[in-house]
Structure 1
Amino acid sequence: MRRPVALRLQATVATAVVGVAVAVAMPTPQASAAAGTATGYASQNGGTTGGAGGQTVRATTGTAIHTALCNRASSSTPITIEVSGTINHGNTAKVSGPSCNTAAGVIELKQISNVTIVGVGGGAVFDQLGIHIRDSRNIIVQNVTVRNVKKSGSPTSNGGDAIGMESTVRNIWVDHVTLEASGGEAEGFDGLFDMKDDTQYVTLSYSILRNSGRGGLIGSSESDRSNSFITFDHNLYENIDSRTPLLRGGVAHMYNNHYSGLHESGINSRAGARAKVENNYFRNSKDVLGTFYTNERGTWQVGGNIFDNVTWSAPGNENYPAGPNPTSTTTVGIPYSYRLDGASCVPDIVRQTAGANTGLKVSNGNCTPQSPAPTTPAPTTPAPTTPPPTTTSPPPPSGSNLSLAAGAGADGTSKADGTSYGNVRDGSLGTWWSPSGSTGTISIKWGSATTVSRVVIREPSGTQGSIGSWQLIDNDTGAVLASGSGAGSTSFAATSLKKINFKINSSNGTPKVGEFETYAG
């Protein structure tokens, strides 16, 4: 049995926070459709093309991503979804339709095919919300960040995996993504990149995986050996306890990856697995290759790797490190062509190319980064959304909506089934908050004092008139800032506060608040 480990987080790591766009946007794309072509094992078995040849839509919420999938003619109609802004629980609802099978609180790619999800504009961040691929094939995920997905605590998503694949999955290319956590299993996190239950022909390329107890696994148990043909190239694994990856059965190819700060173990080939490990750079790590935590051993073929300040434990029961002088124990034939960078330049080329928002640069095979060949995207249209509010809804005020600022949040006194506090700050009038009765309070809050002088309350499309009398209250002092009835825009003396309450005192039935916007002016 594997002993539990505690993740040692680096004190210098800081996570950037990206704001949520209020509506479907049309930014100048950083990437348009999926740039480049699938490499490694994702290029086999007929290849991986994602949504090539289909419609291209834009989305700034998880609900819009689901809606785009559900509005296709069929579950296999090609589509490219260009994503910008922050996707989170507050803006990711279940959407139903004959061409989809989605769920709230996770990006669900289930029983579908021929889909590309690519980050554009200022970036796409899936915050505390994972991407789940199940019973699907021909999927591309490119140029996105997925962070802090939990399996325990709050909120939870995707079993704690940043990206998880299971149950008859074929031909997946995940490229130029950043997958990160803020701790290990004890802090509620699981794997960053997991595959199980018959997942095959997958490539993870030019990506960053960091600050996690578990990098990822291939096979959920010693008996789950149906997963195979996985390529890992030009990735950075940094500040990880173990599983970079854990491989049970099957074949995997790891080349030109940079492994730094692996605290317990690295590539764990076990249960009959065969790994080809070549021209990688391992630095400041322990037991970077071998069979660990089991007596069911795997094998490896090694060549051209650099081991820089790598320590090795003594072999023993359930512990079979490949070092200190790793030698091959099998041979692995690779069916696709690829160009190897020299291991000595791997840290530098990976630094310049890996992760989201790096321009989708790749190596030319001679340790030099190059931009991908330009592509001609399909015509771009906004992602399908609910109808816009009627003309009685107030126009957007000038300035930024502070409810969407970094560090902002929402809570309240109660919420009706199927609604969420976060729905009032997700930029969508297709979701809303309602109290459990006819009255209640919804609040916007910040981590530090924020000056507010104007509030806009928007009701969901088609439901105007549900809100009766109300008060705006400074939660810090209890002072009433304004009062009135119905939704709309309200101004008051500029007030510095950490939390503002919209208290509904009467209603026409069940009140619904679609958006609770706050402004400095």
Structure 2
Amino acid sequence: MQLLAAGAATALAATIGVTALAVSGAQAATGGATGFATQNGGTTGGAGGATVKATTGTQIHAALCSRASASTPITIQVEGTINHANTAKVSGSSCSTAAGVIELKQISNVTIVGVGSGAVFDQLGIHIRESSNVIIQNVTVKNVKKSGSPTSNGGDAIGMESDVHNVWVDHATLEASGGESEGFDGLFDMKANTKYVTLSYSILRNSGRGGLVGSSDSDLQNGPVTFHHNLYQNIDSRTPLLRGATAHIYDNYYLNLNESGINARAGGKAKVENNYFKSSKDVLGTFYTDLPGTWQVAGNIFDSVTWSPKGTDTNPAGPNPTSTTTVSIPYSYTLDAASCVPSVVAQTAGAGTGLKVSDGSCTPTTPTPTPTSTTPNPTPTTATPTPTPTATTPTGTNLSLGAGADGSSKASGTSYGNVIDGSLTSYWSPNGSTGQISVKWSSATSVSKINVREASGAVGAITSWRVLNGDTGAVLASGSGAGVISFSATSLKKVTLDITGSSGTPRVAELETYAK
């Protein structure tokens, strides 16, 4: 990872007109990602990078554009109201922004978190496009329109499209003031190859459309996605709409769904557990199409729910929902009993609730530390130390031999498996100058060192990296250059080298792993 030293962070803040803080990125985004956002290398946002404060949309764009690269980690703490009047386009080599929308385009390793008296994006949507490893936390986004005035983000409060992966939206409040006829669209939309997303402890309300996964019945390369501990209130439909996608939906509170709820269609699959549905209609099934989806149900409560009769384009799961598929969940999670979901969600969901969470005991707790508008510090620090790789080969057994491998992308003619074959003549390269490569095992394995061995004649030397716990997304180490990297011994099934900067296209011949 490319970290900003104290002087550099201060200079960055001065350049973009925001306040540098002594709070680390990891502290700003309290806790850690959950659900499917923990997979595929994990979601850590701007952890370990510089932290700055912004009070306008222009300052948010400027923070993105003033980074050393489009993947340099950064946490942006937002306070106040962000609107069209204070959100202008900013240009730079590490960003691609637009006026009238918070544009997270072709970037990675970013956290946006509301602090202090709160962050409100008023009639201004957040657009995530061709980006990865993004956290949005403790913000309110309201009244975003696609027609009328002003318009923003196609009418979506938060919209993701075009090769987006690993996004965690947490403790957010997303709301509209009507449906499509009033100019609004979806509150939380994912399309065009958007993968590994989690929406947790959030409120979605007063909208015609809650959100979708897949923009049409031919847009089927999205998901998986997790929805947990959210409140859906006064929504007409799409809570969510799943087109060909897999979703894990648990411990949510659905109140006053007016037309339909969870709509699995065109091969979409939903695991629906321990949710509480109240005063609603057709809360689960396949609707408005003859292309069916499937669901697995357990532990849900249906309180004053009405069901339509089956028809050619209507297939409600009720009145006595039973499972029609089985959905495998690859991560660990703890369920609250459905009976206490209304109470738990009331105390935890949405912005401004202190980032409270539940551990399955039906008693919300507040993780520490919580984000605050910390007093400005002229010499900010970074949270993650930067180890220097050494040339000394570790002793012991290379645990990568006989293990598996995967990654985020691979250049033509290269393979993930080349990093675990014991040969320095074969190698893996990502599609571009950054990417992730992982070694994985079928059971938990203790690892404390990795040895990054670049191929002979590599033209793209690695300049910055992170080592991630592939099970949880936690950052184990960060720094620059190839060689031996040491960190605290960690038991895991997957360790990931996240290359966040290089001088060209890197070539990793071997990613060796060692217990000590």
TM-score for the superposition, normalised by structure 2: 0.68
1:107 counterpart (93, 102, 105): 102
1:364 counterpart (359, 362, 371): 359
3-state SS of 1:173 partner:
strand
Amino acid at match of 1:230: V
In structure 1, the gaps of 5 or more residues are: 1-22, 384-521
Shift of 1:279: 0.2
1:200 counterpart (190, 195, 198): 195
Matched, 1:37 2:3: no
Alpha-carbon distance in structure 1 between the residues aligned to 2:68 and 2:62: 12
Alpha-carbon distance in structure 1 between the residues aligned to 2:31 and 2:65: 27
3-state SS of 2:260 partner:
coil
3-state SS of 1:363 partner:
coil
Amino acid at match of 1:302: V
3-state SS of 1:42 partner:
helix
Alignment CA distance shift 1:122-1:50 (3 Å) = same
3-state SS of 2:121 partner:
strand
Q: How many residues align?
A: 360
Question: Which residue is equivalent to 1:342?
Answer: 337
Amino acid at match of 2:80: G
Alignment CA distance shift 1:199-1:231 (3 Å) = same
3-state SS of 2:224 partner:
strand
Alpha-carbon distance in structure 2 between the residues aligned to 1:380 and 1:286: 49
Alpha-carbon distance in structure 2 between the residues aligned to 1:207 and 1:313: 28
Shift of 1:346: 0.1
Map 1:290-369 → 2, pairs under 5 A: 290-369=285-364
Alpha-carbon distance in structure 2 between the residues aligned to 1:140 and 1:173: 5
Question: Which residue is equivalent to 1:183?
Answer: 178
Amino acid at match of 1:132: H
Question: Which residue is equivalent to 1:163?
Answer: 158
Alpha-carbon distance in structure 2 between the residues aligned to 1:226 and 1:157: 25
Alpha-carbon distance in structure 2 between the residues aligned to 1:380 and 1:116: 19
Q: Higher Cα Rg: structure 1 or 2?
A: 1
Question: Which residue is equivalent to 2:265?
Answer: 270
In structure 2, the gaps of 5 or more residues are: 1-16, 379-516
Question: Which residue is equivalent to 1:229?
Answer: 224
3-state SS of 2:217 partner:
coil
Shift of 1:374: 2.2
3-state SS of 2:344 partner:
helix
Q: Is the 8 A contact 2:252 2:345 kept in 1?
A: yes
Shift of 1:364: 1.8
Q: Is the 8 A contact 1:268 1:291 kept in 2?
A: yes
3-state SS of 2:285 partner:
strand
Amino acid at match of 2:126: I
Alignment CA distance shift 1:363-1:28 (3 Å) = farther
Amino acid at match of 2:278: R
Q: Is the 8 A contact 2:20 2:52 kept in 1?
A: no
Alpha-carbon distance in structure 2 between the residues aligned to 1:188 and 1:381: 40
2:132 counterpart (131, 134, 137): 137
3-state SS of 2:64 partner:
helix
- Report percent identity of matched pairs: 75
Alpha-carbon distance in structure 2 between the residues aligned to 1:98 and 1:161: 27
Amino acid at match of 2:314: N
Alignment CA distance shift 1:155-1:245 (3 Å) = same
CA RMSD of aligned residues (A): 2.1
Map 1:302-451 → 2, pairs under 5 A: 302-374=297-369
Matched, 1:86 2:78: no
Alignment CA distance shift 1:47-1:381 (3 Å) = farther
Question: Which residue is equivalent to 1:280?
Answer: 275
Question: Which residue is equivalent to 1:517?
Answer: none
Alpha-carbon distance in structure 2 between the residues aligned to 1:378 and 1:157: 28
Alpha-carbon distance in structure 2 between the residues aligned to 1:327 and 1:201: 27
Question: Which residue is equivalent to 2:90?
Answer: 95
Alpha-carbon distance in structure 1 between the residues aligned to 2:22 and 2:161: 34
Shift of 1:228: 1.2
Shift of 1:381: 6.1
Alpha-carbon distance in structure 1 between the residues aligned to 2:271 and 2:371: 36
| CA displacement 1:413-461 (0-9 Å, x = unmatched) | xxxxxxxxxxxxxxxxxxxxxxxxxxxxxxxxxxxxxxxxxxxxxxxxx
Q: Is the 8 A contact 1:256 1:278 kept in 2?
A: yes
Alpha-carbon distance in structure 1 between the residues aligned to 2:372 and 2:321: 46
Alpha-carbon distance in structure 1 between the residues aligned to 2:45 and 2:85: 27
Shift of 1:373: 2.9
Shift of 1:274: 0.8
3-state SS of 1:369 partner:
coil
2:212 counterpart (192, 198, 217): 217
Alignment CA distance shift 1:377-1:262 (3 Å) = closer
Shift of 1:372: 1.1
3-state SS of 1:357 partner:
coil
Alpha-carbon distance in structure 1 between the residues aligned to 2:372 and 2:352: 19
| CA displacement 1:263-301 (0-9 Å, x = unmatched) | 000000000011000000000000000000000000000
| CA displacement 1:327-373 (0-9 Å, x = unmatched) | 00000000000000000000000000000000000002110000013
Alpha-carbon distance in structure 1 between the residues aligned to 2:318 and 2:175: 28
Matched, 1:67 2:62: yes
Alpha-carbon distance in structure 2 between the residues aligned to 1:382 and 1:110: 30
| CA displacement 1:95-144 (0-9 Å, x = unmatched) | 00000000000000000000000000000000000000000000000000
3-state SS of 1:159 partner:
helix
3-state SS of 2:345 partner:
helix
1:146 counterpart (117, 141, 144): 141
3-state SS of 1:64 partner:
helix
Amino acid at match of 2:127: H
3-state SS of 2:341 partner:
helix
Question: Hey, which bits of structure 1, 4+ residues long, moved more than 4 A?
Answer: 23-29, 375-383
3-state SS of 2:215 partner:
coil
Question: Which residue is equivalent to 1:3?
Answer: none
Amino acid at match of 1:81: I
Alpha-carbon distance in structure 2 between the residues aligned to 1:146 and 1:27: 24
Amino acid at match of 1:126: F
Question: Which residue is equivalent to 1:7?
Answer: none
Shift of 1:33: 1.1
Alignment CA distance shift 1:73-1:184 (3 Å) = same
| CA displacement 1:179-219 (0-9 Å, x = unmatched) | 00000000000000000000000000000000000000000
Shift of 1:153: 0.1
Alpha-carbon distance in structure 1 between the residues aligned to 2:285 and 2:374: 49
Q: Is the 8 A contact 2:355 2:370 kept in 1?
A: no
Alpha-carbon distance in structure 2 between the residues aligned to 1:62 and 1:199: 24
